[in-house]
Amino acid sequence: EVQLVESGGGLVEAGRSLRLSCSTSGFTFGDYAMSWFRQAPGKGLEWVGFFRSKTFGGTSEYAASVRGRFTISRDDSKSIAYLQMNSLKTEDTAVYYCTRGPIEGARFFDCWGQGTLVTVSS
Amino acid sequence: QSALTQPASVSGSPGQSITISCTGTSSDVGGYNYVSWYQQHPGKAPKLMIFVVSGRPSGVSNRFSGSKSGNTASLTISGLQAEDEADYYCTSYTSSNTYVFGSGTKVTVL
């Protein structure tokens, strides 16, 4: 069974940094791109970014709203994806989800974690 | 990149069919068949319901179907059931190599 478990969320002051982790099991982690999404309280879903598998270049893409502040990385030996968030703003307050995907050639996200809440205070 | 346009809410009675629209531009929905739909119950993680416009993952009821015409994709739920009451989001790959979401549609089963 595929499982994704996010951790590292919490309360942080604006301007500070936080790193989220996504621990996975049940699939060959290195074969897949991994993505992060977020959902502000009472709002819709927002794509944050993804990190391709090494097979497809091991590069990353980001939403304009986080580019330059957020960095996604991965440790294939541990099957963990990370989201490093710097210069946090109050508008970054959200539940953050990690997902498997985008699936190469089809560009969808098939498995989601349960999410971890990040609250940025002023 | 602007969010895709979805109706805020759609409702129907049990057994009826409803359709949720998702309108974008030629740079996203209209330019690629990489449209997927996600169901989200309150307090839960999203669940993939449709991929590549009309593909259905194993385990998803065949009451859910997807289609696309021009810049608008659609999700149809037939034989509406109480368990279908949830928020639904469309998403599309874009020409900027990013992903854009719809604003979300709340489905209410009357």
Range B78-87 burial, b when 16+ CB lie within 10 A, else e: eebeeebebb
Instruction: List C-alpha distances in Å: B19 to B34, B37, B50, B73.
Output: 19, 12, 14, 10
Predicted pLDDT at B94: 95
Average pLDDT, chain B: 96
Provide CB contacts within 8 A for B5, sequence distance 6+: B21, B22, B23, B24, B102, B103
Over residues A38-77, the pLDDT tens digits come to: 999 999 999 999 999 999 999 999 999 999 999 999 999 9
Sort out which chain B residues have CB atoms less than 8 A from A64's CB and list them: 1, 98
pLDDT at position B54: 97
A13's enclosing H/E stretch is: strand A10-13
Chain A nearest-CA residue for B104: A44
Q: Which residue of A has its CA nearest to B50?
A: A108
A9 contacts chain B (CB < 8 A): no
- pLDDT in the model for residue B2: 73
A95 min Cα distance to partner chain B (Å): 10
B54 is written with which tokens?
């009309």
Confidence check: pLDDT of B83 > 90:
yes
pLDDT value at position A104? 85
What's the pLDDT tens digit per position in A3-48?
Answer: 999 999 999 999 999 999 999 999 999 999 999 999 999 999 999 9
Chain B positions touching A61 (Cβ under 8 A) are: 97-98
Give the separation between CA A101 and CA A99, rounded to whole angstroms.
6
Residue A106 confidence class, pLDDT cut points 50, 70, 90: confident
Q: Which long-range contacts (CB under 8 A, 24 or more apart) does A68-74 make?
A: A70/A36, A72/A34, A72/A35, A72/A36, A72/A48, A74/A29, A74/A34
pLDDT above 70 covers a percentage of chain B that reads 99
